[in-house]
Amino acid sequence: MRGSGDTLVALGLVFVPLSLLSFGGGNAVIADIAQQAINVHGWTSEREFADLFALSRAAPGPGSMLAALIGLKAAGIAGAVVATLAFYVPSAALVLAVSRLWGRWRGSPWHTAVERGMAPVAAGLFLSSGIAVLRASPGGPAVWIAAIVTTVALLRWPKMHPVPLLLGAAVLFGILRAF
């Protein structure tokens, strides 16, 4: 059990800092989750990471359950629990702590500066996350093309609901690749 205890600690050490840096949401840090899970710790192969990323979208709820799936793959159910708590609790605790002090800070210039300043970093992290997933995906150029087509379509029609889009893409790939 020694080895799995070490893995649980490693999961915590990966996900706690990422929780506190996930400006703009959990999707922002997927590039680094990929890097850590595939190259640093070897918890998943590239193929597995790409599949787990897609599977994490099958679950409802806030953002990504990707942490749970990486934890599951690395150290079973205990790993899934540790990774999920490590990824969600620190940022939740931070927002609780800050909200108590909020009254004093409302409208202060530095709050605006933090908000303004972190927005482009968060946007850059979002784009990087997409790139990291495409790089890990063994699906070839078809995945890159489909991602770009989806991007353009969503920029053109922002109100499109994502669920039919995901199902459509799944069915399309399932059918086209069969031939």
Q: Which of residues 67-106 bind another protein (CB under 8 A)?
A: 68-69, 72, 77, 80, 84, 88-89, 91-92, 94-96, 98-99, 102
* 170 closest CA partner among 87, 57, 62: 57
Of the residues 1, 104, 155, 159, which one makes contact with another protein according to CB under 8 A: 155
Distance CA 89, CA 94 (A): 9
Hey, which residues between 27 and 66 contact another protein (CB under 8 A)? Answer: 27, 29, 31-32, 35, 47, 50-63, 65
Indicate the residue among 9 and 160 with the shorter CB distance to another protein: 160
Distance CA 71, CA 78 (A): 8
Q: Is 124 in the site for another protein (CB under 8 A)?
A: yes
Of the residues 12, 24, 45, 46, which one makes contact with another protein according to CB under 8 A: 24
Residue 8's contacts (CB-CB under 8 Å, 6 or more residues apart) are 75, 78, 79, 82
